[in-house]
Chain A
Amino acid sequence: MVEEIVPEYDENVIISTSRLTKVFGKLVAVNDLHLQVMRGDVFGFLGPNGSGKTTTIRMLLGLIRPTAGRAIIFGMDNAYQLSPILARIGAIVETPVFYPYLSGSDNLHVIAAASGMMQGSANNRRIDEVLEIVELRRQARQAYRTYSLGMKQRLGIAAALLTDPELVLLDEPTNGLDPQGVFEIRQLIKRLSELGKTIFLSSHILYEVQQVCNRVAILQRGNLVKQGDVGELMRRGEQIELRFNTDEQTRQALATLQQMREQGLDWIGEMQVEMNRKGQPLLRLAAPTARSAEINALLARYQLFAAELHPREGSLEEIFLELTAPASSDGHHPGMAALAEPAQETAAIQGTGTGKRGIQ
């Protein structure tokens, strides 16, 4: 039985995977993955160690073959048209490795030739350009074996940019870089994005992803748990924190808000009471920060006046941690409720204790 999968060709879709699966023995490294990366996206690819990020990248680059499914890149199936696809991609897969006996510049010459660029001095200017971008020009003649981890990483980025590719695929590009280096890579990614390149960025550094990516996919044990717009995800992670002077007021506020939600205020999400660092009860509710004043006014009608009210922006880190936290014994995933549509949310109102969104 031949299953027909005929993806619509859209030149704005740079990467499209359909049911992409990789099984190593009994281990399902990537399961039924559907990804879509659009032209001009800075696409963050997140997941804990062993979640299948690198396996996915390797499948996209044709280093490993999928057990099932397909990857369409630039409208071409990478199982059949890998070479023309790779000619338009610059990639770093894990820690970049080069020939230790060659200098940084010579390594780039070798890679240039392997990438289909002309040999000899024809590409000296381009090699100087990319070395300049990653600030390795002064060490260009130095043997690669003498490079520090950060320099190796930067040479990897230079190699990825060598052909001025349309799609730049970066697997943990800031590994081994100092904070200044991380900042520079972030700036570089922003610059590349401004130049119209599509960036596929796999990273553990959530702040980095939050800063540069417009779309994100989160993997957990080979399964895609979330894919979407970073701004939208962050909005869903928005919270309002309220502190009252007494425990009694806190309990009343919790009950009042719960009642309001039951009466139709569906933008009020999960609520919980936690202790702050000073041991004071803190009512935290998932709600758009733009509704802070409205919440305040609603509670004031019931003579409940908050001593403090803090609108809190959502953070990718919190969302990531919730989504990738181990599922409870009943199969419930703590993060899924937070990301569900507010109308469908099941509010788990807890008394006290520290949840995943504990006060920092």
Chain B
Amino acid sequence: MKLAHSTMPEPQTSRYTRASSVMMGRHDFLSVVVRLTSTELYKIRRRAMSKVMGIIALAVILFTFLFTPFISPDLVHLPLSLTVAVEVSRLLGVVLTIVLAGSIVGGEYSIGTIRLMLTRGPSRIQFLLGKIGAALVCIVLGLLFMTLIAILIGQILSLFFNVATGWQFLSLDWVGHALLYLLSAMFGLSVYALMALFLAMLGRSSTAGVAGGLMWSLLEPVFGLLATTLGEHMQGPAGTFFLSIPDYLISNNIGALLQNESLFLTHDQPASLSTLHALLVLAVYLLVFFGLSWWLLERRDITN
């Protein structure tokens, strides 16, 4: 049965006035999303999990930089320490991002608060955007914080290891590329965040988001290696197909994006994949994860 919506008469404006103690905020789409993002960040801040994650991040950075001088003392000083810091932050960040994004969405299902949130007025897309916004803020602040701490620790350690410190590399151009390098790492992490968010929504639990996301990130390199091995042993179009699979995996494209950007920082070798290819592939992943999450949230009933 289809119902004609257009025939519905317009409701009159409500004459109801709320109590004077109720201070309503703005109700435009963006204001609601910003308010939900800020609320989400407040909840993250109040969770014990976030504090534990912060401590783990600090410990890993400290541990890495304490041992790095024994491998190569140059790695603890800028400009090389930036790439070490971002690489460590990114690798650890993948795990932390998946845990965070998986639990902020999955937790609403697991605890049952999604029912509460979706009966308070925000639309489902606003609810989803609020979650994504909070995850992105955490990624940006988290990566910045970890990188800065790492660089600071590196600089302090370099004093003890008598590393020849020079600042000749420092230029406006270098700072610009360093920022792009950081942005690339953040972009990469946001793909994992959206993946965990989608999986949590699919499984309607934190476990699905966290376990599914971690499994994906762990199995992806294995899958890439298998595809390459198969491709090398096969001939013709099938072999080419298998060999091309790793070019479309998340981790390889994030790696390529970072490597191509680090060229300007450390004069490294360029990656086999172009920056444009990596950006496009990652953007497609982002869109697919976001689209599927939205579709699931919009289509599904909120039941127990």
Q: Is the CB of A63 within 8 A of B36?
A: no
A4/B4 in contact, CB under 8 A = yes
Q: Bound state CA distance, A123 and B23, in angstroms?
A: 6
Contacts of B165 in A (CB 8 A): none
Residues of A within 8 A of B235 (CB): none
- Among the interface residues B23, B27, B42, B112, which one has the most CB atoms of the partner chain A within 10 A? B23
Given A9-B9, A70-B3, A123-B22, answer yes or no on A63-B118 (Cβ-Cβ < 8 Å). yes
Contact A99 B111 (CB under 8 A): yes
- Whether A115 contacts B18 by the Cβ 8 Å rule is no
- Tell me the nearest residue of chain A to B303, going by C-beta: A64
Do B122 and A114 touch (CB < 8 A)?
A: yes
Whether, in the assembled complex, A27 has its beta carbon less than 8 Å from a beta carbon of chain B, the answer is no
Cα(A129)–Cα(B20), bound, Å? 12
Whether the pair A3, B43 counts as a contact (CB closer than 8 A) is: no
Closest chain A CB from B210 CB (angstroms): 17
Q: Is the CB of A116 within 8 A of B7?
A: no
A307 beta carbon closer than 8 Å to chain B: no
How many interface residues does chain A have, given as a range? Answer: 35 or more
Q: Across the interface, which residues of A come within 8 angstroms of B122, CB to CB?
A: 83, 114, 116
Q: Which single member of B1, B22, B116, B303 contacts A111 (CB below 8 Å)? A: B116
User: Is B301's CB under 8 angstroms from A64's CB?
Assistant: yes
B3 to A5, Cβ gap below 8 A?
Answer: yes
> What sequence of 0s and 1s flags, for each residue 1-27 of chain B, a beta carbon within 8 Å of any chain A beta carbon?
111110111111010101101111101
- Is A102 touching B117 in the complex (CB atoms < 8 A)? no
Proximity string of chain B (113-138) to chain A, C-beta cutoff 8 Å, 1 when within and 0 when not: 10111111111000000000000000
Residues of chain B within 8 A (CB-CB) of A89 are 119
User: Whole-angstrom distance between the alpha carbons of A97 and B109 in the complex?
Assistant: 11
Contact of A110 among B5, B32, B42 (CB under 8 A): B42
Q: Residue of B at shortest CB range from A88?
A: B14
B48 within 8 Å of A by Cβ? yes
Bits for B35-61, please: 1 = Cβ < 8 Å to A, else 0: 110110011001110000000000000
A79 to chain B, nearest CB (A): 8
Docked complex Cα distance between A21 and B134 (Å): 37
Q: Is A163 an interface residue (CB 8 A)?
A: yes
CB-contacts of B258-304 with A (<8 A): 301-303
With A99-B111, A123-B23, A164-B19 as known contacts, state yes or no: A4 contacts B7, CB within 8 Å: yes
Which of A63, A87, A100, A125 lies in contact with B27, CB distance below 8 A? A87
Interface contact B32-A74, CB-CB below 8 Å? no
Task: Mark each residue of chain A from 98 to 133: 1 if its CB lies under 8 Å from any CB of chain B, else 0.
Answer: 111110001001110111111100110110010000
CB <8 Å contact, A97 and B39: no
Residues of B within 8 A of A86 (CB): 119-121
The number of chain B residues touching the other chain, given as a range, is 35 or more
A102 to B116, CA, bound (A): 15
B3, B10, B11, B115: the one within 8 Å of A2 (CB)? B3
When the two chains form the complex, which single residue of A4, A94, A111 contacts B120, counting CB atoms closer than 8 Å? A111
Residues of B within 8 A of A98 (CB): 113, 116
A-B CB contacts (within 8 Å), total count: 156
Residue of B10, B16, B22 near A88 (CB, 8 A) is B16
> CA of A62 to CA of B115 in the docked complex: distance in angstroms?
10
Binding site secondary structure of chain B: loop
Contacts of B21 in A (CB 8 A): 123, 125-126, 129, 164
A166 and B19: CB pair below 8 A? no
Inter-chain contacts of A110 with B (CB < 8 A): 39, 42-43
User: 8 Å CB contacts to B: which residues of A30-76?
Assistant: 58, 61-65, 68-70, 72, 74-76
Q: Are A80's CB and B43's CB within 8 A?
A: no
CA distance A4 to B21 in the complex (A): 43
Other-chain contact of B119, A9, A68, A93 (Cβ < 8 Å): A93
Which of B24, B35, B46, B120 is A102 in contact with, Cβ under 8 Å?
B46
Q: Of all chain B residues, which has the CB nearest A86?
A: B121
B39:A113 contact, CB within 8 angstroms? yes
Closest residue of A by beta carbon distance from B298: A65
Chain B's closest residue to A126 (CB) is B21
Assuming the A-B contacts A63-B301, A106-B46, A113-B35, are A118 and B2 also in contact, with contact meaning beta carbons closer than 8 angstroms in the complex? no
CB <8 Å contact, B112 and A97: yes
B54 to chain A, nearest CB (A): 16
Measured CA separation A97–B21 after assembly (Å): 25
- Per the 8 Å Cβ criterion, residues 183-233 of B in contact with A are none
Chain B CB within 8 A of A229 CB: no
Contact B116 A96 (CB under 8 A): yes
- Is A290 located at the chain interface by the 8 A CB criterion? no
Q: How far is the CA of A3 from the CA of B113 in the complex (A)?
A: 37
Q: Which residue of B lies closest to A70 (CB)?
A: B3
Question: What separation, in Å, do the CA atoms of A17 and B22 have in the docked complex?
Answer: 30
**Interface, chain A (partner B; CB < 8 A):** 1-7, 9, 11, 19, 58, 61-65, 68-70, 72, 74-77, 79-80, 82-83, 86-89, 91, 93-94, 96-102, 106, 109-111, 113-119, 122-123, 125-126, 129, 159, 162-164, 166
Closest 10 CB pairs of A and B: A75-B11, A64-B301, A97-B112, A63-B302, A126-B21, A114-B120, A164-B18, A164-B19, A118-B25, A113-B39
List 9 interface pairs A-B (beta carbons < 8 Å), by A numbering.
A2-B4, A6-B9, A9-B11, A63-B115, A79-B5, A93-B115, A116-B121, A118-B25, A126-B22
Besides the known contacts A114-B116, A119-B35, A126-B19, 20 further A-B residue pairs in the complex with CB atoms under 8 A apart:
A2-B3, A2-B4, A4-B4, A63-B302, A64-B303, A72-B8, A76-B8, A77-B8, A79-B5, A80-B5, A80-B8, A86-B121, A87-B121, A88-B14, A111-B120, A114-B36, A116-B121, A117-B23, A119-B25, A166-B16
